Amino acid sequence: MTSLPDAALGQALEQPLLAVEGCLNLLGEALLRRDSQAIELHASALHQALAEAIAMFSEAARSGQVPPNLRHRLVQAGGRVAAQRESLARATAALDRAIDVLMPGEASGLYSALGKNERKSLGGGSYQA
């Protein structure tokens, strides 16, 4: 990004930031609806929009030309991304727990997380050489 006047630079940085904010809004709505296809679509669009915004902001920051209000909005967007990631992680963990309750895994013959051997013993459970 070559040296643009402040107004032109602000406009150039505003566009990718608006795209990020729009993607965050759409992703948030999809998360509330629990619409997995929309979540996938908007998460992908957010990833692309964030990559473009970060590239433009990084280039502008190297020359010290990022307007403070846009820098603040980018930081806020980053916070929203982190909050949505945390929300999705909690939902995924809850779903995993529900699946484990409804469909318990079969004994694997290995030690469990509690350290007990889950192998079903045959003939009393002890072996001698």
Residues 58-83: what's their mean pLDDT?
90
Helix axes 6-33, 36-62, angle to 10 degrees: 160
Whether 66 has a pLDDT exceeding 70, the answer reads yes
pLDDT digits (tens, 9 = 90+) for 75-112: 999 999 999 888 888 878 888 888 888 887 665 556 65
pTM beyond cutoff 0.75: no
SS3 labels along 32-91: HHCCHHHHHHHHHHHHHHHHHHHHHHHHHHHCCCCCHHHHHHHHHHHHHHHHHHHHHHHH
Give me 52's structure tokens: 């473009």
pLDDT score, position 121:
47
Q: Domain residue spans in the chain?
A: 6-102
Give the CA count within 13 Å in the CB-facing half-sphere of 96: 6
Q: Is 117 helix (H, G, I), strand (E, B) or coil?
A: strand
All residues at 6 or more sequence positions from 119 whose CB lies less than 8 Å from its CB, including other chains: 107, 109, 110
pLDDT score, position 94:
85
Whether 125 has a pLDDT exceeding 70, the answer reads no
Farthest CA pair distance, the chain = 84
